[in-house]
Structure 1
Amino acid sequence: MDILMIGGSGIISSEICNLAIEHGDSVSIFNRGRRKEEINSKANLIIGDMRNESVQSITDKIMSSYDVVMDFISYTPEQLRKTIDIFSSRCKQFVFVSSATVYSSDAPLPFKEDSKLENTKWKYAQDKVDCENFLASSELSCEYTIIRPYVTYGRTRIPLQIAPLEYYTIINRIKCHKPIIISGEHVECTLTNSKDFAIGAYGLLLNEKAYGEAFHITGDYRTTWKEVVLCLAEKINEDVEFINIPMQYLQVHKKYCGFDVSEILGDKGRNMIFDNSKIKRVVPAFSNFRRLEEALDDSLKYFEKKSHQRVNYKWDAEVDCFIANYIKRKGIIIDPIMLSELSYGETINDKDKKMYLEYRFPVNRMIGKVKRKICRG
């Protein structure tokens, strides 16, 4: 197969690319070229910008036709429209990567592919719903398939309920004995290893049973967000202290928490359980799923490398500030050092400490904003 991936350097797209190349397929990747280290060296990298380049500029860079085009980076109908205009006449199958967060909270569990599609609590998810509806109503010159990933994880990503993109931040919090926020101790989630996901997605390519269909590609591994953190802490031989903050509190105080509460409301604060019989039926190889307890070893090995140990101190500071306000309201006792820069010991440098202190205390945050405004003139 000749496969073009738009995006292609994320955790699931890179695994699909690797699997396709193992099967002898030709894979081209169209993206801005900012994460070349995550791209298989045997893939053909086409550097371009889907969002900002003209249609003509993009078409000048790509081949006249592909067997499959996979779109990993359309998040709104407007973005998807441009992609379809360029590629629907240049491929046999167009694969749109949606999200398994599209299902309504009113739909019964487990979610099935024909469950009600609506998620107004989280704009990202509702935009994906709108994209799916737009795709289904469009006149295309090719077949299309919709795939819906849920929470995927792998070497570079640890699945967590509340975390920044710099995943090592949470490992570092645990090592520094800082409290970990969760919202709902018993909220269930379904986790899928990116290598398993790739098997399901690859099996849908040029598969006639997938044409005009939608599939959520989720494994059988179910757990709670609290258990994920406990598993991670056990792997690094540390204890962990949790602060369980109710959804209602997050909604009222979301302006001050330092993370996207709408993602919790529309996704990770809900029980997310799926009936995956459809993808198993169409792709029999999608089975024998990896367990988190085993797969976390790959992630921890990745984060042993110093250059991968990036800590988001701004996020850490805002979360510590939020926790401090919450425990004060609720009368919960925590060692104040664990919510200060002192918790990092000698591991934090002066630049990062300055960043942390600016965002840890609201008055410092205000002073920082004023200083930056003055510097800009």
Structure 2
Amino acid sequence: MKVLFIGGTGTISMAISKLILEKGWELYLINRGNRNNDERLKGAHFITVDINDEKAAAEKLAGMQFDVACDFIGFVPSQLERDYRLLKGKVRQFMYISSASAYQKPCGNYIISEKTPLANPYWEYSRNKIACEDYLMKLYRDEQFPVTIIRPSHTYDERSVPLGVHGDKGSWQVVKRIKEGKPVIIHGDGTSLWTITHNSDFAKGFVGLMGNIHAIGEAVQIMSDESVTWNQIYQCIATSLGVELKPVYVSSSYLAAHSDYDFTGSLIGDKANSVVFDCSKLKSLVPDFVATKRADQGIRETVEYVLAHPECQTEDPYFDKWCDEIIAKMN
């Protein structure tokens, strides 16, 4: 199978790229070349170009045909319009990474399936994803453009510990606080249900949908069946570090009102909601799919990796100071 990825080196896409190469498929990556030396991408073909330079990208793709193409870095409809101009007539299946955050908030039912309405008034990111989906599905209906929409939830890899509340520089500062015995902020009371999915599991579901004729014109969510509370997630981090967890519970609305971070979107529009995902559609399309990385196992492995790799330990003094200030107000 001949595959084109726009992106291909991020949290979700790297695991998929790795699995595709292990299968012996022909993989082409359009990107700026910042991570092309990664050993996991050995055997891939690189098309080094800024995808936003449409003329240059069109010249690079001239005369090429693909079984599957996927845009991992499309966030607004104008980017998908560009993809359509570049790939019309060149692909048998175009896959788009949307987001489970696009589902309606507040949730009408805590069990989420592809039939759940899309509506998120709290997060522009999610509204843009909905607009992208609308654009692509119209292309499918009107132009028979072979679209498959993919909706991931909270997907993580070995480089970033899954969290609810963190700063702009990633998860390390929170991990460091837990490791040093400092109190950490957990939104709400920590009892809402959440789903985290390791990227290696996500990749299995995604690859099963590639070249799958039954996935054309469909939206499919890919995630683990396992649900855990935020208290369990943070406790798994502390257990992996061998220390006591010292949680400070703060309402999501308070966090949104007392920070420069977009907690209105990421919490009220996403992580503060209790969700359980129904993955029966994915399993009907990919009968052998099963997520095998349990939350506590994945968190432990990620914590161990981050501790062993200083490049994953980005300090965030601004966020650390903000945590101290919020926690002081709670006491």
TM-score after normalising by structure 1: 0.81
Question: Structure 1 residue 271 and structure 2 residue 243: aligned?
Answer: no
Structure-2 residue corresponding to 1:235: 240
- Is 64-73 or 136-145 further displaced after alignment? 136-145
- Is 161-170 or 183-192 further displaced after alignment? 161-170
Bigger relative contact order (CA 8 A; separation at least 6): 2
Give 1:31 deviation, angstroms: 1.2
- Is 38-47 or 142-151 further displaced after alignment? 38-47
Question: Structure 1 residue 60 and structure 2 residue 59: aligned?
Answer: yes
Separation of aligned partners in 2, 1:50 and 1:140? 23
Separation of aligned partners in 1, 2:43 and 2:230? 37
Picking from 154, 162, 165, the partner of 1:159 is 162
Structure-1 residue corresponding to 2:90: 90
Deviation readout 1:326-375 (Å, 9 max, x if unpaired)? 32xxxx1xxxxxxxxxxxxxxxxxxxxxxxxxxxxxxxxxxxxxxxxxxx
Separation of aligned partners in 1, 2:199 and 2:84? 26
Structure-1 residue corresponding to 2:187: 183
- SS of 1:60's partner is helix
Picking from 305, 308, 330, the partner of 1:302 is 305
TM-score after normalising by structure 2: 0.92
Contact 1:221 1:289 in 2 (8 A): no
Separation of aligned partners in 2, 1:208 and 1:45? 27
Structure-1 residue corresponding to 2:33: 33
Separation of aligned partners in 1, 2:297 and 2:313? 21
Give 1:97 deviation, angstroms: 0.5
Contact 2:255 2:263 in 1 (8 A): no
Where structure 1 has 5 or more consecutive residues not aligned to the other structure, the ranges are 333-377
Output the amino acid matched with 2:277.
F
Contact 1:101 1:150 in 2 (8 A): yes
Question: Structure 1 residue 261 and structure 2 residue 260: aligned?
Answer: no
Contact 1:216 1:276 in 2 (8 A): yes
Contact 2:93 2:147 in 1 (8 A): yes
Report matched runs for 1:1-377 at 5 Å: 1-36=1-36, 38=38, 40-51=41-52, 53=53, 55-62=54-61, 64-104=64-104, 105-138=106-139, 139-140=142-143, 142-164=145-167, 165-184=169-188, 185-253=190-258, 256=259, 258=261, 260-303=263-306, 304-324=308-328, 326-327=329-330, 332=331
- SS of 1:316's partner is helix
- SS of 1:28's partner is strand
Contact 1:93 1:145 in 2 (8 A): yes
Output the amino acid matched with 2:159.
T
Q: Which runs of 4+ in 1 moved over 4 A?
A: none
Separation of aligned partners in 2, 1:238 and 1:148? 35
Give 1:257 deviation, angstroms: 5.2
- SS of 1:92's partner is coil
- SS of 1:91's partner is coil
- SS of 2:176's partner is helix
Give 1:212 deviation, angstroms: 0.3
Separation of aligned partners in 1, 2:36 and 2:247? 37
Deviation readout 1:70-100 (Å, 9 max, x if unpaired)? 1111111112111121113211100011001
Contact 1:11 1:157 in 2 (8 A): no
Separation of aligned partners in 2, 1:246 and 1:260? 11
- SS of 1:163's partner is coil
Please give the root-mean-square deviation of Cα atoms over the aligned residues, in Å. 1.7
Output the amino acid matched with 2:121.
T
Deviation readout 1:298-323 (Å, 9 max, x if unpaired)? 31332112233222222222332333
Contact 2:96 2:147 in 1 (8 A): yes
What is the aligned-residue identity percentage?
31
Give 1:194 deviation, angstroms: 0.7
Task: Work out the number of aligned pairs and report it.
Answer: 323
Separation of aligned partners in 1, 2:2 and 2:197? 26
Quickly say closer, same or farther: Cα 1:106–1:297, change in 2 above 3 A: closer
Separation of aligned partners in 1, 2:238 and 2:313? 16
Separation of aligned partners in 2, 1:99 and 1:281? 20
